[in-house]
């Protein structure tokens, strides 16, 4: 990228003339002709209605008005030049982009991002969170973490987090409404749902209870709550509103901190979960991010 200084017109010309004390020297430093420099100064004096320079035999010196303008103009030029250098440095920093959904980014990734920055302080990480991945979503340069099956992503991806779920709620909710010693008792509780297309691509309450041969009474669970994002499901569980499906890997820290407690038996799918999909055109930065994701998912 070019290191050429930003175009600041007359302001830079005036600052260089004042600094060097010569039209000719300023012209040489800026790659201009001496008449062009002289013209710009004369135009500014006409515009401001004051003399900015005192012409002398061997150069020029600032008038009192010129001194006042120089203080402002020199600072402005220096600040803009410094900002331009920062912009260029930022543009040249490597960036690793990751596309994933809101649940993975907010509950799994963000609490761990400091670890990536400590390992690779020279690399910026940009998170693009979306709930919708169109067909053929695989990007030329972006790493992606998507939820799906081995049939969908096994040929191109690495399984980061196998889908394993447990019912979760607060200890207070469990004390008031439990115990939930078996899934049949869970079916009578207020359940917190994640709205999904039918059939659900992951475990929901219907499929969870079905796995344990539990049919939920149509009158059970009056007051159930539904949300369209998993982060809101977790927030509702944390506020004691009911029992939610907890994805291991996403709610682990909440369970270890006892902010949520397990309220039923676990359930696991061997071929479903979050998959790491590398970009079509891998580079050093995407490979660093991918390697770090795999190590973090494997745990200590």
* pLDDT tens-digit series, residues 115-143: 888 888 888 888 888 776 655 566 555 88
Q: What is the CA radius of gyration of the chain?
A: 32
Do 300 and 250 reside in the same domain of the chain?
A: yes
C-alpha neighbours within 13 Å on the C-beta side of residue 36: 13
Tell me the two tokens of residue 126. Answer: 């940009």
User: Does residue 117 form part of some domain?
Assistant: yes
In this structure, what CATH number is given to the domain that contains residue 216?
3.40.190.290
Q: Give kind and range of the element (H or E) at residue 261.
A: strand 261-262
CA neighbours within 13 Å on the CB side: how many for 146? Answer: 26
Q: Are residues 168 and 253 in the same domain?
A: yes
**How high is the pLDDT of residue 1?**
40
Please, which residues bridge with residue 96 across strands?
125
CB-facing half-sphere around the CA of 293: CA atoms within 13 A? 31
Structure tokens at 121: 């302080």
pLDDT digits 0-9 by tens, 256-269 = 999 999 999 999 99
What is the per-residue pLDDT across 83-94, written as a single tens digit (0 to 9) for each? 887 777 666 677
Name the residue range of residue 109's domain.
95-300
- 117 and 253 inside one domain: yes
DSSP track, 171-201: HHHHHHH----SHHHHTTS-EEEE--PSSPS
Nearest-10 Cα torsion for 118, 124, 129, 132: -120
Q: Which helix (H) or strand (E) holds 296?
A: helix 284-298
**Mean pLDDT computed over 56-63:** 87
Residue 1 located in a structural domain: no
Which residue carries 């409404």 as its tokens? 177
Tell me: do 36 and 171 sit in the same domain: no
Q: How many domains does the chain have?
A: 2
Which of these, 65, 80, 58, lies nearest to 11 by C-alpha position?
A: 80
Note whether residue 281 is domain-resident.
yes
Query: What CATH number does residue 84 fall under?
Result: 1.10.10.10
Indicate whether 135 and 200 sit together in one domain.
yes
- At 223-274, the pLDDT tens digits run 899 998 899 999 999 999 999 999 999 999 999 999 999 999 999 998 999 9
Specify the DSSP class assigned to residue 89: H
- Domain assignment of residue 107, yes or no: yes
Q: Which tokens sit at 204? A: 């929901």
Question: pLDDT for 1-13, tens place per residue?
Answer: 445 555 578 888 9
């Amino acid at each position: 990228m070019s290191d050429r200084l930003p175009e600041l017109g007359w302001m830079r010309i005036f600052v260089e003339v004042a600094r060097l004390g010569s039209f000719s020297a300023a012209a040489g430093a800026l790659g201009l002709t001496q008449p062009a420099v002289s013209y710009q100064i004369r135009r500014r004096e006409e515009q401001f209605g004051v003399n900015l320079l005192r012409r002398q035999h061997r150069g020029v010196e600032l008038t009192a008005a010129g001194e006042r303008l120089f203080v402002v103009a020199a600072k402005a030029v220096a600040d803009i030049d410094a900002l331009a250098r920062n912009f260029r440095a930022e543009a040249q920093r490597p960036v690793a982009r990751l596309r994933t959904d809101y649940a993975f980014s907010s509950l799994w990734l963000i609490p761990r991002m400091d670890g990536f920055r400590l390992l690779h302080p020279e690399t910026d990480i940009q998170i693009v969170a979306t709930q919708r991945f169109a067909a053929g979503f695989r990007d030329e340069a972006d790493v992606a973490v998507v939820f799906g099956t081995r049939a969908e992503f096994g040929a191109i991806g690495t399984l980061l987090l196998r889908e394993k779920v447990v019912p979760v709620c607060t200890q207070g909710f469990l004390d008031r409404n439990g115990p939930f010693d078996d899934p049949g008792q869970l079916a009578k509780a207020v359940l917190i749902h994640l709205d999904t297309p039918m059939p659900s691509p992951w475990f929901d309450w219907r499929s969870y209870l079905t796995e344990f041969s539990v049919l939920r009474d149509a009158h059970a669970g009056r007051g159930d709550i539904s949300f369209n994002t998993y982060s809101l499901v977790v927030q509702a569980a944390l506020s004691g509103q009911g029992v939610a499906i907890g994805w291991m890997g996403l709610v682990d820290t909440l369970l270890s901190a006892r902010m949520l407690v397990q309220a039923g038996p676990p359930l696991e799918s061997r071929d479903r979960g979050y998959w790491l999909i590398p970009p079509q055109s891998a580079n050093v930065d995407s490979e660093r991010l991918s390697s770090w994701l795999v190590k973090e998912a494997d745990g200590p």
